[in-house]
Structure 1
């Protein structure tokens, strides 16, 4: 197609309008006109065209003022439906939404994760339950994204570094789930999904390169370079738990570390930090309790910051990110004070003056990130709208139609994307 042709310009404008409606929600014609910079007649023609293609629908009216009420337009959310799941050893947290991002149902339930359990069958039953709550069947879900505590190898479909969910190990997880449940399933590391959510609505919206460190019961990380998650050759990108680092603590915790150094995860997971707190005279059952019990300048917090900075220094020295974000229960308990302490100790170890902050996303950020990922894939399939910061996006070819046949979505597995 010749560059600048009317058809190409229409496609560009149509995609721009859909992107605005997905991001902002229902808008009037005048608001949409202002957002995409078209004339009044061109915007009216665009809306008519998108309505005829069933890509936008009327969404009520906006009142106010003395004049007539203005018609609202919205992206047609009924063209596809997605599900997202935060899978932990204790609980599985499900959500179902339409392609416009409207949440239709939520469901939390414990699922068996022990070795030998029918993890696929019980997961399918839970997925069917939440789909029914949303007024759907399971096979009407176009995409399902699961966040799990472990590393996922895209070459084999295997989870690793996940001894806490042994029933999910040893088989091609997305392939088995997709085949047995009749839906398109992707599984992703939980901290990677937190990074996705932070890129979408949090502190990293305008950041190209950043590192995220999860401090809670265990330890995890995510590395984003050029707005893309760094997965690595085997899916282990960001698995900082196994890094070998020296222990810089100023007190004796009774731990004996190998000559090569301690595992970073063994220094900053909750049990290790409870021992560190006890060595400072602070008794606590969890790391976040220990942080909450101490004042901002307590020696325990300084030793905690030294340990965290020792691991982060390795990432900063290699990736030179614009930002480091701390997340998880321990980080949340310490807040900006802990982030500032980590930044101070980090700057003693590396040349870059990388700022350290706290992740801003509230609630279940793993599930939220999984939902963002599922929506990104569905929106590309339905609307041709690419969200390059999220998982599973594929850049459409020039001239590719804006919408695809939604009836073909539920049982269609998309080709691997460049991000995978």
Structure 2
């Protein structure tokens, strides 16, 4: 049964909007070529979408740059404003963008462990409100939040997790109360980082891979056949609890001490570096583990021309080898179970380690598993969580607005 005229128009509109989202501004002839629709049909849909306020003329293209066929149409960026949050145990970072993802404002605030729940929530919500005001956003359409812990697959809510501050869960509810017209959603931080690496970072050519998060803590995200996998309880990727050799004991249901976290968390990496006489001062908000890895990589790269105060190349080389042995344990475990073909070393440690650390992990992995597994360094580092939160907020907003067209 053929589609009704109204259904056909809706399908064509969504196709054109998707192309404008993925390809950027396009002319009417380009839309005709990409959609396969007739010239009159494209002319009708362009006029319809422009009248609805979803697209607008954003420039001109072509050699002569004049006439209807030269007009470049793009998504109306100011149709909605979005916010993305990266919620950590030690603070919150936020950015506000328009509908096409252009950042309008960004800010962060530290939240100490001794801050009460109410004060911590108020500080975080106030940060969002100030960023929105700075961006000139009268109201936020969608807010995407990345947070540590488990996200209930059924309800989409942040579940109780041991070791995480109470204000994390309370923050989502208060944001919804203070921003009643906004769509607020929360996702595990490592999952968002994986989505960002897939869209904009190290895994752009992969539809199956595992992101091994290496920051203050550890985690993993699993993308299989283009889909993020969360598991029955939302716990896919809780690799910090993975029992591994080389620790003092075994993890428990309430504490990952003794698991992979005890080998690859920032504190563990820092302690390993100190055993080799390597210390470094972290940048603002950076895990110390990332700072010592950066110092070691620079020393190895510098060779004999090492700056004063930097670790000796041989010392740095031994430290990076020892760290690679640890990381290969986690990578080999996910490779044996999932056979992803690619492991991305994410987070701040994965980014500062770069190709130097990734190559060492890959060589050890070759000896531990018969399954061919490429190891890549993160392209986005700790900023991947905010990028992932923004991408999901943008997709949610566009889905809502485009669906109304």
Measured against the shorter chain, the TM-score band is: 0.7 to 0.9
Alignment-derived partner of residue 396 in structure 1: none
Aligned to 1:144: 143
Paired position in structure 2 for 1:268: 264
Give the C-alpha shift of residue 18 in structure 1.
0.6
1:350 corresponds to which of 369, 386, 392:
369
1:47 maps to: 46
Cα distance, 1:350 vs structure 2: 1.9
- CA contact under 8 A between 1:158 and 1:173: conserved in structure 2? no
| 1:202 CA drift (Å) | 2.2
Does the 8 Å contact 1:149/1:162 carry over to 2?
no
Confirm or deny: 8 A CA contact 1:158 1:172 kept in the other structure: no
Normalised by the length of structure 1, the TM-score is 0.79
Instruction: Name the CA shift for 1:295/1:44 in 2 (closer, same or farther; >3 Å).
Output: same
**TM-score between the two structures when normalised by the length of structure 2:** 0.82
The 1:227/1:54 distance shift into structure 2, 3 A limit, reads same
1:83 aligned residue:
83
- Offset at 1:381? 0.7
Distance in 1 between the 2:102 and 2:396 partners? Answer: 16
Give CA-to-partner distance per residue, 1:322-364, whole Å, 9 cap, x none. Answer: 3110112222222112112111212222221111111223672
Residues 77-124 of structure 1: CA deviation (Å, up to 9, x unaligned)? 333322111123444222222223233322333356634333333333
In the alignment, the residues of structure 2 paired with residue 3 and residue 347 of structure 1 have an alpha-carbon distance, to the nearest angstrom, of: 55
Deviates more, 1:330-339 or 1:147-156: 147-156
Q: Map Cα deviations across residues 197-252 of structure 1 (whole Å, 9 max, x no partner).
A: 112222323422210012122212211123222222332221211111012xxxxx
Aligned to 1:210: 209
CA 1:49–1:259: 2 relative to 1, 3 Å: closer
- Partner of 1:99, secondary structure, is coil
- What's the secondary structure of 1:84's corresponding residue? strand
- Residues 110-150 of structure 1 show CA distances to partners (whole Å, capped at 9, x for unaligned) of 3566343333333332222122122233xx22221111233
Taking the aligned partners of 1:103 and 1:37, their CA distance within structure 2 comes to 33
C-alpha contact (below 8 Å) 1:119/1:167 kept by paired residues: no
Q: List gaps (5 residues or longer) in structure 2.
A: 252-256, 282-287, 302-313
Q: Secondary structure at the match of 1:272?
A: helix
Counterpart residue number, 1:287: 289
Q: What is the alpha-carbon distance in structure 1 between the residues aligned to residue 274 and residue 110 of structure 2?
A: 33
Q: Which runs of 5+ in 1 are unaligned?
A: 248-255, 385-401, 404-420
User: Given the alignment of the two structures, is residue 278 of structure 1 paired with residue 277 of structure 2, yes or no?
Assistant: no
Distance in 1, matches of 2:148 and 2:23, equals 32
From the two aligned structures, give the one with the greater helix fraction. 2
Q: Deviations over 1:355-396 (max 9, x none)?
A: 111122367221111000101111111113xxxxxxxxxxxx
Aligned residue in 1 for 2:130: 129
Aligned partners of 1:283 and 1:86: how far apart in 2?
A: 28
Deviations 1:277-319 (A, max 9, x none): 3334444563334333252782222221111111122211111
